[in-house]
Structure 1
Amino acid sequence: MELRVLKYFLAVAQEENLTRAAKTLLTLQSNLSRQLADLENELGKKLFKRGSRKITLTEEGLYLHKRAKEIIELAERTENELMAFDQITAGTVHIGAAESQVMRDLARVMMDVQTSYPLITFDIFSGSTIEVFEQLDRGLVDFAVLVAPVDLSKYDFIQLPVEETFGVIMREDSPLAAKTAIKSSDIKDIPVIVSKQQLDSSIFSSWLGDDIKMLNIVATFNLITSPAMMVESGMGVAFTFDHLVMTNTQSHLTFRPLSPAIKTNLYLVWKKSQVFTRAGELFLERVKLSLGKFGNFS
Protein backbone atom coordinates (compact mmCIF):
# COMPACT_ATOMS: atom_id res chain seq x y z
CA MET A 1 0.00 0.00 0.00
CA GLU A 2 1.35 3.38 -0.99
CA LEU A 3 0.91 6.39 1.29
CA ARG A 4 -0.54 8.35 -1.62
CA VAL A 5 -3.27 5.75 -2.17
CA LEU A 6 -4.06 5.64 1.54
CA LYS A 7 -4.53 9.40 1.44
CA TYR A 8 -6.91 8.92 -1.51
CA PHE A 9 -8.80 6.32 0.51
CA LEU A 10 -9.09 8.63 3.53
CA ALA A 11 -10.29 11.53 1.38
CA VAL A 12 -13.10 9.45 -0.13
CA ALA A 13 -14.06 8.16 3.32
CA GLN A 14 -14.20 11.76 4.55
CA GLU A 15 -16.16 13.20 1.63
CA GLU A 16 -18.35 10.12 1.00
CA ASN A 17 -18.31 11.17 -2.65
CA LEU A 18 -15.80 10.56 -5.46
CA THR A 19 -16.34 13.92 -7.17
CA ARG A 20 -15.80 15.98 -4.03
CA ALA A 21 -12.82 13.86 -2.99
CA ALA A 22 -11.21 14.27 -6.43
CA LYS A 23 -11.55 18.05 -6.16
CA THR A 24 -9.99 18.01 -2.70
CA LEU A 25 -7.09 15.89 -3.95
CA LEU A 26 -6.69 17.90 -7.17
CA THR A 27 -6.93 14.78 -9.31
CA LEU A 28 -9.32 13.34 -11.89
CA GLN A 29 -12.29 11.32 -10.70
CA SER A 30 -11.38 8.54 -13.13
CA ASN A 31 -7.86 8.34 -11.65
CA LEU A 32 -9.21 8.29 -8.12
CA SER A 33 -11.72 5.56 -8.94
CA ARG A 34 -9.00 3.45 -10.58
CA GLN A 35 -6.63 3.85 -7.61
CA LEU A 36 -9.31 2.73 -5.16
CA ALA A 37 -10.24 -0.24 -7.32
CA ASP A 38 -6.56 -1.24 -7.44
CA LEU A 39 -6.39 -0.95 -3.63
CA GLU A 40 -9.40 -3.23 -3.20
CA ASN A 41 -7.88 -5.73 -5.62
CA GLU A 42 -4.53 -5.58 -3.82
CA LEU A 43 -6.11 -6.28 -0.45
CA GLY A 44 -8.72 -8.70 -1.77
CA LYS A 45 -11.38 -6.86 0.23
CA LYS A 46 -14.32 -4.64 -0.63
CA LEU A 47 -13.74 -1.35 1.16
CA PHE A 48 -16.70 0.75 0.02
CA LYS A 49 -20.46 0.47 -0.31
CA ARG A 50 -21.35 2.55 -3.35
CA GLY A 51 -24.86 3.96 -2.96
CA SER A 52 -26.82 6.29 -5.25
CA ARG A 53 -26.06 9.37 -3.12
CA LYS A 54 -22.98 8.58 -1.11
CA ILE A 55 -20.15 6.13 -0.57
CA THR A 56 -19.78 4.48 2.85
CA LEU A 57 -17.22 2.12 4.31
CA THR A 58 -17.62 -1.62 4.72
CA GLU A 59 -16.51 -3.32 7.93
CA GLU A 60 -13.12 -3.96 6.31
CA GLY A 61 -13.05 -0.34 5.17
CA LEU A 62 -13.66 0.91 8.70
CA TYR A 63 -10.74 -1.17 9.94
CA LEU A 64 -8.45 0.16 7.20
CA HIS A 65 -9.64 3.72 7.93
CA LYS A 66 -8.39 3.49 11.52
CA ARG A 67 -5.08 1.95 10.50
CA ALA A 68 -4.57 4.28 7.52
CA LYS A 69 -4.90 7.35 9.75
CA GLU A 70 -2.28 5.94 12.11
CA ILE A 71 0.06 5.06 9.22
CA ILE A 72 -0.21 8.52 7.65
CA GLU A 73 0.23 10.23 11.02
CA LEU A 74 3.30 8.15 11.84
CA ALA A 75 4.82 8.70 8.37
CA GLU A 76 4.30 12.47 8.52
CA ARG A 77 5.62 12.65 12.07
CA THR A 78 8.70 10.62 11.13
CA GLU A 79 9.40 12.92 8.20
CA ASN A 80 9.04 16.04 10.34
CA GLU A 81 11.24 14.62 13.10
CA LEU A 82 13.97 13.59 10.66
CA MET A 83 13.96 17.08 9.14
CA ALA A 84 14.33 18.60 12.63
CA PHE A 85 16.56 15.87 14.07
CA ASP A 86 19.63 18.07 14.45
CA GLN A 87 17.71 21.19 15.44
CA ILE A 88 18.04 21.49 19.20
CA THR A 89 15.53 24.33 19.39
CA ALA A 90 12.62 22.71 17.53
CA GLY A 91 10.41 19.63 17.52
CA THR A 92 7.30 18.11 19.09
CA VAL A 93 7.26 15.79 22.09
CA HIS A 94 4.31 13.37 22.00
CA ILE A 95 2.98 12.27 25.39
CA GLY A 96 0.19 9.82 26.14
CA ALA A 97 -1.33 10.34 29.56
CA ALA A 98 -3.76 8.48 31.75
CA GLU A 99 -5.71 10.93 33.89
CA SER A 100 -3.55 12.00 36.81
CA GLN A 101 -2.72 15.02 38.92
CA VAL A 102 0.94 14.48 37.99
CA MET A 103 0.22 16.32 34.73
CA ARG A 104 0.43 19.53 36.77
CA ASP A 105 4.06 18.71 37.54
CA LEU A 106 4.79 17.67 33.97
CA ALA A 107 3.23 20.91 32.74
CA ARG A 108 5.83 22.81 34.77
CA VAL A 109 8.55 20.74 33.10
CA MET A 110 7.07 21.49 29.67
CA MET A 111 6.99 25.21 30.41
CA ASP A 112 10.59 25.03 31.63
CA VAL A 113 11.62 23.38 28.34
CA GLN A 114 9.71 25.96 26.29
CA THR A 115 11.28 28.84 28.22
CA SER A 116 14.69 27.68 27.01
CA TYR A 117 13.52 26.39 23.61
CA PRO A 118 10.35 28.23 22.49
CA LEU A 119 10.03 26.22 19.26
CA ILE A 120 9.58 22.93 21.12
CA THR A 121 5.90 22.01 21.38
CA PHE A 122 3.98 19.21 23.10
CA ASP A 123 1.22 16.97 21.77
CA ILE A 124 -0.89 15.28 24.47
CA PHE A 125 -3.06 12.20 23.99
CA SER A 126 -5.43 11.54 26.91
CA GLY A 127 -6.94 8.15 27.51
CA SER A 128 -7.14 5.11 29.73
CA THR A 129 -3.97 3.19 30.56
CA ILE A 130 -4.88 0.59 27.91
CA GLU A 131 -5.39 3.27 25.24
CA VAL A 132 -2.16 5.04 26.16
CA PHE A 133 -0.23 1.75 26.08
CA GLU A 134 -1.54 1.14 22.55
CA GLN A 135 -0.33 4.57 21.43
CA LEU A 136 3.09 3.89 22.96
CA ASP A 137 3.46 0.46 21.37
CA ARG A 138 2.48 1.81 17.95
CA GLY A 139 5.07 4.56 18.16
CA LEU A 140 2.46 7.32 18.15
CA VAL A 141 3.70 8.80 21.43
CA ASP A 142 7.25 9.17 22.79
CA PHE A 143 6.30 8.90 26.46
CA ALA A 144 3.40 7.53 28.46
CA VAL A 145 2.20 8.57 31.90
CA LEU A 146 0.74 5.42 33.46
CA VAL A 147 -0.94 4.50 36.72
CA ALA A 148 0.00 1.27 38.52
CA PRO A 149 -0.54 -1.62 38.37
CA VAL A 150 1.06 -1.97 34.92
CA ASP A 151 3.49 -4.46 33.40
CA LEU A 152 6.65 -2.47 32.67
CA SER A 153 8.94 -5.39 31.86
CA LYS A 154 9.27 -4.36 28.19
CA TYR A 155 9.83 -0.66 28.85
CA ASP A 156 12.17 1.87 30.36
CA PHE A 157 10.57 4.04 32.99
CA ILE A 158 10.88 6.45 35.88
CA GLN A 159 8.71 6.08 38.95
CA LEU A 160 7.36 9.55 39.63
CA PRO A 161 7.40 10.66 43.28
CA VAL A 162 3.64 11.17 43.42
CA GLU A 163 0.93 8.85 44.72
CA GLU A 164 -2.66 8.81 43.55
CA THR A 165 -5.44 8.41 46.12
CA PHE A 166 -8.46 6.49 44.89
CA GLY A 167 -11.92 7.45 46.05
CA VAL A 168 -15.42 8.56 45.17
CA ILE A 169 -16.83 11.88 43.95
CA MET A 170 -20.40 12.70 44.88
CA ARG A 171 -22.75 15.62 45.27
CA GLU A 172 -22.33 17.64 48.44
CA ASP A 173 -25.89 16.71 49.46
CA SER A 174 -25.24 12.97 49.10
CA PRO A 175 -25.61 10.95 52.33
CA LEU A 176 -22.10 9.61 51.65
CA ALA A 177 -20.69 13.14 51.98
CA ALA A 178 -21.18 12.91 55.76
CA LYS A 179 -18.51 10.20 55.89
CA THR A 180 -14.78 10.87 56.06
CA ALA A 181 -14.00 7.74 54.00
CA ILE A 182 -16.02 5.26 51.96
CA LYS A 183 -16.19 1.54 52.75
CA SER A 184 -17.28 -1.00 50.16
CA SER A 185 -20.45 -1.68 52.14
CA ASP A 186 -21.39 2.02 51.94
CA ILE A 187 -22.07 1.88 48.20
CA LYS A 188 -24.39 -1.11 48.09
CA ASP A 189 -27.48 -0.27 46.01
CA ILE A 190 -26.16 3.25 45.28
CA PRO A 191 -25.93 4.05 41.54
CA VAL A 192 -22.24 4.15 40.63
CA ILE A 193 -20.28 5.27 37.57
CA VAL A 194 -17.02 3.39 37.10
CA SER A 195 -14.35 3.05 34.42
CA LYS A 196 -14.00 -0.27 32.62
CA GLN A 197 -10.33 -0.32 33.59
CA GLN A 198 -11.28 -0.03 37.27
CA LEU A 199 -13.60 -3.01 36.93
CA ASP A 200 -10.71 -5.04 35.50
CA SER A 201 -8.29 -3.92 38.22
CA SER A 202 -7.36 -6.53 40.82
CA ILE A 203 -6.81 -3.76 43.37
CA PHE A 204 -10.33 -2.40 42.89
CA SER A 205 -11.96 -5.83 42.96
CA SER A 206 -9.98 -6.73 46.10
CA TRP A 207 -11.28 -3.62 47.84
CA LEU A 208 -14.87 -4.47 46.91
CA GLY A 209 -14.58 -8.17 47.74
CA ASP A 210 -17.96 -9.90 47.60
CA ASP A 211 -19.63 -6.47 47.43
CA ILE A 212 -18.64 -6.27 43.76
CA LYS A 213 -21.61 -8.53 43.02
CA MET A 214 -23.92 -5.90 44.54
CA LEU A 215 -22.44 -2.98 42.62
CA ASN A 216 -25.23 -0.99 40.95
CA ILE A 217 -23.37 0.19 37.84
CA VAL A 218 -25.40 2.73 35.85
CA ALA A 219 -22.63 3.87 33.47
CA THR A 220 -19.01 3.20 32.54
CA PHE A 221 -16.37 5.58 31.19
CA ASN A 222 -12.73 5.99 30.16
CA LEU A 223 -12.17 9.67 31.13
CA ILE A 224 -13.71 11.40 34.16
CA THR A 225 -14.76 14.80 32.72
CA SER A 226 -18.19 13.79 31.41
CA PRO A 227 -18.96 11.40 34.31
CA ALA A 228 -18.29 14.27 36.74
CA MET A 229 -21.08 16.22 35.04
CA MET A 230 -23.32 13.16 35.34
CA VAL A 231 -22.57 12.99 39.08
CA GLU A 232 -23.34 16.69 39.39
CA SER A 233 -26.70 16.05 37.71
CA GLY A 234 -27.52 13.43 40.34
CA MET A 235 -27.06 10.26 38.27
CA GLY A 236 -24.88 8.59 40.89
CA VAL A 237 -21.39 8.62 42.39
CA ALA A 238 -18.16 7.97 40.48
CA PHE A 239 -14.89 6.28 41.35
CA THR A 240 -11.83 8.34 40.46
CA PHE A 241 -8.53 9.71 41.76
CA ASP A 242 -8.35 12.77 43.97
CA HIS A 243 -7.60 16.20 42.42
CA LEU A 244 -8.96 15.30 38.96
CA VAL A 245 -12.40 16.83 39.43
CA MET A 246 -13.09 20.34 40.69
CA THR A 247 -14.75 20.01 44.08
CA ASN A 248 -16.01 23.36 45.32
CA THR A 249 -19.21 25.30 45.93
CA GLN A 250 -19.62 25.95 42.20
CA SER A 251 -19.46 22.29 41.17
CA HIS A 252 -21.41 21.07 44.24
CA LEU A 253 -19.16 18.00 44.24
CA THR A 254 -16.94 16.55 46.95
CA PHE A 255 -14.38 13.74 47.15
CA ARG A 256 -14.01 11.03 49.77
CA PRO A 257 -11.14 8.50 49.87
CA LEU A 258 -11.73 4.78 50.18
CA SER A 259 -11.35 2.80 53.39
CA PRO A 260 -9.12 0.83 53.52
CA ALA A 261 -7.17 3.40 51.54
CA ILE A 262 -6.04 2.65 47.99
CA LYS A 263 -2.98 4.54 46.82
CA THR A 264 -1.08 3.82 43.64
CA ASN A 265 2.17 4.82 41.95
CA LEU A 266 2.75 6.70 38.71
CA TYR A 267 5.34 6.13 36.00
CA LEU A 268 6.78 7.95 33.03
CA VAL A 269 7.34 5.18 30.48
CA TRP A 270 9.03 4.86 27.09
CA LYS A 271 9.98 1.99 24.78
CA LYS A 272 13.38 0.40 25.34
CA SER A 273 14.11 0.75 21.63
CA GLN A 274 13.04 4.40 21.56
CA VAL A 275 15.30 6.79 19.66
CA PHE A 276 14.41 10.28 20.83
CA THR A 277 14.62 13.51 18.92
CA ARG A 278 16.60 16.23 20.68
CA ALA A 279 13.28 17.67 21.90
CA GLY A 280 12.42 14.32 23.52
CA GLU A 281 15.86 14.06 25.09
CA LEU A 282 15.54 17.56 26.55
CA PHE A 283 12.13 16.78 28.03
CA LEU A 284 13.40 13.58 29.68
CA GLU A 285 16.47 15.40 31.04
CA ARG A 286 14.29 18.12 32.55
CA VAL A 287 11.93 15.55 34.09
CA LYS A 288 14.85 13.84 35.82
CA LEU A 289 16.16 17.19 37.10
CA SER A 290 12.71 18.14 38.41
CA LEU A 291 11.82 14.92 40.24
CA GLY A 292 12.52 16.40 43.65
CA LYS A 293 9.94 19.13 43.01
CA PHE A 294 7.11 16.74 42.04
CA GLY A 295 4.04 16.59 44.23
CA ASN A 296 4.02 20.30 45.08
CA PHE A 297 0.52 21.26 43.98
CA SER A 298 0.30 24.58 45.80
Structure 2
Amino acid sequence: MAQPTVGILHPGSMGAAVAACAATNGGSVLWCEAGRGPATVARAERFGLTGVATLRELLDRSDVVISLCPPAAAEDLALEVAEHGFAGVYLEANAISPEKAFRTAGLFGPATTVVDGAVIGSPPVRGKTPTLYLSGPAAATAELEQLFAGTAVRTKALGDEVGQASALKLAYTAYQKASRVLVALATGLAREHGVDEELLDVASRRASSYLAEPEYIAKTAARAWRWGPELEEAADTLAAAGLPAEMLHAAATTLARWNEAKDSELTVADALDQLAQP
Protein backbone atom coordinates (compact mmCIF):
# COMPACT_ATOMS: atom_id res chain seq x y z
CA MET A 1 0.00 0.00 0.00
CA ALA A 2 1.50 3.35 -1.06
CA GLN A 3 1.25 6.21 1.41
CA PRO A 4 -1.46 4.71 3.65
CA THR A 5 -3.57 7.01 5.78
CA VAL A 6 -3.22 6.13 9.47
CA GLY A 7 -5.78 6.66 12.21
CA ILE A 8 -4.68 6.73 15.85
CA LEU A 9 -7.32 6.05 18.50
CA HIS A 10 -7.07 8.21 21.64
CA PRO A 11 -3.53 9.58 21.17
CA GLY A 12 -1.84 9.48 24.58
CA SER A 13 1.87 10.09 25.12
CA MET A 14 2.82 6.75 23.54
CA GLY A 15 0.11 6.65 20.86
CA ALA A 16 0.73 10.16 19.56
CA ALA A 17 4.48 9.65 19.30
CA VAL A 18 4.11 6.26 17.59
CA ALA A 19 1.55 7.67 15.16
CA ALA A 20 3.85 10.57 14.31
CA CYS A 21 6.56 8.06 13.34
CA ALA A 22 4.06 6.32 11.05
CA ALA A 23 3.73 9.57 9.11
CA THR A 24 7.29 9.13 7.84
CA ASN A 25 6.26 6.43 5.37
CA GLY A 26 2.52 7.06 5.36
CA GLY A 27 0.20 9.83 4.37
CA SER A 28 -1.70 11.87 6.91
CA VAL A 29 -2.22 10.63 10.47
CA LEU A 30 -5.74 11.24 11.74
CA TRP A 31 -7.20 11.41 15.22
CA CYS A 32 -10.76 11.97 16.42
CA GLU A 33 -11.34 15.19 18.35
CA ALA A 34 -14.78 14.25 19.73
CA GLY A 35 -14.81 14.10 23.51
CA ARG A 36 -11.08 14.72 23.96
CA GLY A 37 -9.65 17.25 26.41
CA PRO A 38 -7.26 20.17 25.88
CA ALA A 39 -4.19 18.10 26.84
CA THR A 40 -4.93 15.63 24.03
CA VAL A 41 -5.53 18.47 21.57
CA ALA A 42 -2.20 20.06 22.48
CA ARG A 43 -0.40 16.71 22.21
CA ALA A 44 -1.90 15.99 18.79
CA GLU A 45 -0.88 19.42 17.53
CA ARG A 46 2.65 18.97 18.87
CA PHE A 47 3.06 15.73 16.93
CA GLY A 48 1.49 17.07 13.74
CA LEU A 49 -1.60 14.85 13.77
CA THR A 50 -4.67 15.85 11.73
CA GLY A 51 -7.90 16.15 13.68
CA VAL A 52 -11.24 14.93 12.34
CA ALA A 53 -14.66 15.53 13.87
CA THR A 54 -15.97 11.97 14.22
CA LEU A 55 -14.76 8.40 14.58
CA ARG A 56 -16.68 7.49 11.44
CA GLU A 57 -14.70 10.01 9.40
CA LEU A 58 -11.43 8.67 10.82
CA LEU A 59 -12.38 5.08 9.97
CA ASP A 60 -13.68 5.92 6.50
CA ARG A 61 -10.45 7.70 5.60
CA SER A 62 -7.91 5.37 7.24
CA ASP A 63 -6.14 2.37 5.72
CA VAL A 64 -4.47 1.48 9.03
CA VAL A 65 -5.91 2.10 12.49
CA ILE A 66 -3.70 1.93 15.58
CA SER A 67 -5.33 1.32 18.96
CA LEU A 68 -3.18 2.42 21.91
CA CYS A 69 -5.30 3.10 24.98
CA PRO A 70 -5.65 1.95 28.62
CA PRO A 71 -6.22 -1.85 28.71
CA ALA A 72 -9.68 -1.58 30.25
CA ALA A 73 -10.98 0.34 27.22
CA ALA A 74 -9.42 -1.85 24.52
CA GLU A 75 -12.30 -4.24 23.84
CA ASP A 76 -15.03 -1.60 23.89
CA LEU A 77 -13.02 0.54 21.52
CA ALA A 78 -12.44 -2.38 19.14
CA LEU A 79 -16.15 -3.21 19.20
CA GLU A 80 -16.99 0.40 18.31
CA VAL A 81 -14.58 0.27 15.37
CA ALA A 82 -15.94 -3.11 14.23
CA GLU A 83 -19.52 -1.84 14.34
CA HIS A 84 -18.54 0.97 11.98
CA GLY A 85 -17.51 -1.66 9.44
CA PHE A 86 -13.87 -0.56 9.22
CA ALA A 87 -12.06 -2.11 6.25
CA GLY A 88 -8.29 -2.12 6.61
CA VAL A 89 -5.55 -3.13 9.05
CA TYR A 90 -6.41 -2.81 12.74
CA LEU A 91 -3.33 -2.79 14.96
CA GLU A 92 -4.40 -3.86 18.47
CA ALA A 93 -1.37 -2.53 20.35
CA ASN A 94 -2.74 -2.41 23.89
CA ALA A 95 -1.37 -4.21 26.95
CA ILE A 96 -4.06 -6.89 27.04
CA SER A 97 -3.99 -10.66 27.55
CA PRO A 98 -3.49 -12.97 24.55
CA GLU A 99 -7.01 -14.33 25.13
CA LYS A 100 -8.44 -10.83 24.97
CA ALA A 101 -6.43 -10.04 21.84
CA PHE A 102 -7.80 -13.18 20.16
CA ARG A 103 -11.33 -12.30 21.29
CA THR A 104 -10.88 -8.78 19.94
CA ALA A 105 -9.85 -10.12 16.54
CA GLY A 106 -13.09 -12.10 16.47
CA LEU A 107 -15.13 -8.92 16.65
CA PHE A 108 -14.21 -7.93 13.10
CA GLY A 109 -15.52 -9.11 9.76
CA PRO A 110 -13.49 -10.35 6.78
CA ALA A 111 -12.81 -6.85 5.49
CA THR A 112 -10.58 -6.14 8.51
CA THR A 113 -7.16 -7.65 9.17
CA VAL A 114 -6.28 -7.61 12.87
CA VAL A 115 -2.63 -7.55 13.90
CA ASP A 116 -1.64 -8.07 17.53
CA GLY A 117 0.96 -5.52 18.60
CA ALA A 118 3.03 -4.73 21.67
CA VAL A 119 5.17 -1.66 22.25
CA ILE A 120 8.06 -2.28 24.61
CA GLY A 121 10.12 0.74 25.60
CA SER A 122 9.55 4.45 26.12
CA PRO A 123 7.70 6.72 23.65
CA PRO A 124 9.83 7.46 20.57
CA VAL A 125 10.91 10.97 21.49
CA ARG A 126 14.24 12.51 22.51
CA GLY A 127 16.29 9.65 21.10
CA LYS A 128 14.20 6.79 22.55
CA THR A 129 13.63 3.82 20.23
CA PRO A 130 10.90 1.44 21.41
CA THR A 131 10.21 -1.82 19.63
CA LEU A 132 6.81 -2.65 18.18
CA TYR A 133 6.37 -6.43 18.21
CA LEU A 134 3.81 -7.79 15.77
CA SER A 135 1.94 -11.05 15.36
CA GLY A 136 -0.77 -11.92 12.89
CA PRO A 137 -1.20 -12.40 9.13
CA ALA A 138 2.17 -12.09 7.41
CA ALA A 139 1.09 -9.63 4.72
CA ALA A 140 -0.35 -7.21 7.28
CA THR A 141 2.65 -7.42 9.62
CA ALA A 142 4.94 -6.77 6.64
CA GLU A 143 2.84 -3.72 5.76
CA LEU A 144 3.24 -2.38 9.29
CA GLU A 145 6.96 -3.06 9.28
CA GLN A 146 7.23 -0.99 6.12
CA LEU A 147 5.14 1.77 7.67
CA PHE A 148 7.67 2.19 10.48
CA ALA A 149 10.83 1.44 8.48
CA GLY A 150 13.60 3.94 9.17
CA THR A 151 11.78 5.56 12.12
CA ALA A 152 12.42 5.61 15.85
CA VAL A 153 9.92 2.76 16.21
CA ARG A 154 11.70 -0.50 15.51
CA THR A 155 9.54 -3.46 14.51
CA LYS A 156 9.85 -7.21 14.86
CA ALA A 157 7.42 -9.86 13.62
CA LEU A 158 6.96 -12.77 16.03
CA GLY A 159 4.71 -15.08 14.05
CA ASP A 160 1.30 -15.38 12.48
CA GLU A 161 -0.76 -16.01 15.63
CA VAL A 162 -2.76 -13.19 17.19
CA GLY A 163 -1.84 -13.21 20.88
CA GLN A 164 1.90 -13.76 20.58
CA ALA A 165 2.77 -10.06 20.78
CA SER A 166 0.41 -9.58 23.72
CA ALA A 167 1.97 -12.55 25.52
CA LEU A 168 5.45 -11.05 25.10
CA LYS A 169 4.27 -7.67 26.38
CA LEU A 170 2.67 -9.11 29.49
CA ALA A 171 5.56 -11.47 30.19
CA TYR A 172 7.83 -8.42 30.19
CA THR A 173 5.26 -6.39 32.13
CA ALA A 174 5.10 -9.06 34.81
CA TYR A 175 8.76 -8.45 35.63
CA GLN A 176 9.34 -4.86 34.64
CA LYS A 177 6.40 -3.29 36.43
CA ALA A 178 6.03 -5.70 39.36
CA SER A 179 9.72 -5.33 40.20
CA ARG A 180 9.24 -1.60 40.65
CA VAL A 181 6.36 -2.24 43.05
CA LEU A 182 8.66 -4.48 45.06
CA VAL A 183 11.24 -1.68 45.18
CA ALA A 184 8.68 0.63 46.75
CA LEU A 185 7.60 -1.98 49.31
CA ALA A 186 11.17 -2.88 50.23
CA THR A 187 12.19 0.76 50.58
CA GLY A 188 9.07 1.59 52.58
CA LEU A 189 9.73 -1.27 55.00
CA ALA A 190 13.38 -0.25 55.42
CA ARG A 191 12.44 3.40 55.99
CA GLU A 192 9.96 2.39 58.69
CA HIS A 193 12.86 0.84 60.61
CA GLY A 194 15.38 3.55 59.81
CA VAL A 195 17.56 1.42 57.54
CA ASP A 196 16.59 2.76 54.10
CA GLU A 197 20.04 4.28 53.50
CA GLU A 198 21.63 0.95 54.37
CA LEU A 199 19.27 -0.82 51.96
CA LEU A 200 20.33 1.56 49.19
CA ASP A 201 23.98 0.90 50.04
CA VAL A 202 23.44 -2.85 49.84
CA ALA A 203 21.56 -2.56 46.54
CA SER A 204 24.17 -0.25 44.99
CA ARG A 205 26.72 -3.06 45.19
CA ARG A 206 24.63 -5.14 42.81
CA ALA A 207 24.53 -4.42 39.09
CA SER A 208 21.27 -3.30 37.47
CA SER A 209 19.15 -3.43 40.63
CA TYR A 210 16.09 -1.19 40.73
CA LEU A 211 16.70 -0.89 44.46
CA ALA A 212 19.62 1.32 43.48
CA GLU A 213 17.17 3.70 41.74
CA PRO A 214 14.81 4.90 44.49
CA GLU A 215 13.85 7.92 42.41
CA TYR A 216 11.84 5.51 40.24
CA ILE A 217 9.34 5.03 43.08
CA ALA A 218 7.84 8.46 42.43
CA LYS A 219 7.61 7.69 38.70
CA THR A 220 5.86 4.42 39.53
CA ALA A 221 3.33 6.27 41.67
CA ALA A 222 2.54 8.70 38.83
CA ARG A 223 1.95 5.81 36.41
CA ALA A 224 0.10 3.50 38.81
CA TRP A 225 -3.32 4.33 37.32
CA ARG A 226 -2.38 2.55 34.07
CA TRP A 227 0.18 0.04 35.35
CA GLY A 228 -2.36 -1.60 37.68
CA PRO A 229 -4.68 -2.71 34.84
CA GLU A 230 -1.67 -4.01 32.89
CA LEU A 231 -0.64 -6.20 35.83
CA GLU A 232 -4.20 -7.53 36.13
CA GLU A 233 -4.02 -8.55 32.47
CA ALA A 234 -0.65 -10.21 33.09
CA ALA A 235 -2.10 -12.02 36.12
CA ASP A 236 -4.94 -13.39 33.98
CA THR A 237 -2.35 -14.63 31.50
CA LEU A 238 -0.37 -16.40 34.22
CA ALA A 239 -3.54 -18.05 35.51
CA ALA A 240 -4.42 -19.24 32.03
CA ALA A 241 -1.01 -20.95 31.90
CA GLY A 242 -1.59 -22.67 35.25
CA LEU A 243 0.88 -20.38 37.04
CA PRO A 244 0.28 -18.51 40.32
CA ALA A 245 -1.18 -15.06 39.71
CA GLU A 246 -1.58 -13.82 43.29
CA MET A 247 1.59 -11.73 43.34
CA LEU A 248 0.54 -9.69 40.30
CA HIS A 249 -3.00 -9.23 41.60
CA ALA A 250 -1.47 -8.05 44.87
CA ALA A 251 0.88 -5.70 43.02
CA ALA A 252 -2.08 -4.18 41.17
CA THR A 253 -3.87 -3.68 44.49
CA THR A 254 -0.75 -1.98 45.81
CA LEU A 255 -0.63 0.34 42.81
CA ALA A 256 -4.26 1.34 43.42
CA ARG A 257 -3.09 3.23 46.52
CA TRP A 258 -1.39 5.65 44.12
CA ASN A 259 -4.36 6.20 41.79
CA GLU A 260 -4.74 9.78 43.05
CA ALA A 261 -1.16 10.50 41.97
CA LYS A 262 -1.98 10.16 38.25
CA ASP A 263 0.71 11.88 36.14
CA SER A 264 1.86 13.93 39.14
CA GLU A 265 5.37 14.90 40.21
CA LEU A 266 5.73 13.46 43.70
CA THR A 267 8.90 13.21 45.74
CA VAL A 268 9.99 9.74 46.78
CA ALA A 269 9.00 10.55 50.36
CA ASP A 270 5.52 11.68 49.27
CA ALA A 271 5.03 8.50 47.23
CA LEU A 272 6.06 6.30 50.14
CA ASP A 273 3.75 8.22 52.49
CA GLN A 274 0.81 7.61 50.13
CA LEU A 275 1.74 3.95 49.86
CA ALA A 276 1.54 3.62 53.65
CA GLN A 277 -2.04 4.95 53.77
CA PRO A 278 -4.98 2.55 53.24
Same fold (TM over 0.5): no
Bigger fraction of residues in strand: 1
Higher relative contact order (CA 8 A, sep 6+): 1
TM-score, normalization by structure 2: 0.32
Could you tell me the TM-score, scaled by structure 1's length? 0.31
| Larger-gyration structure (1/2) | 1
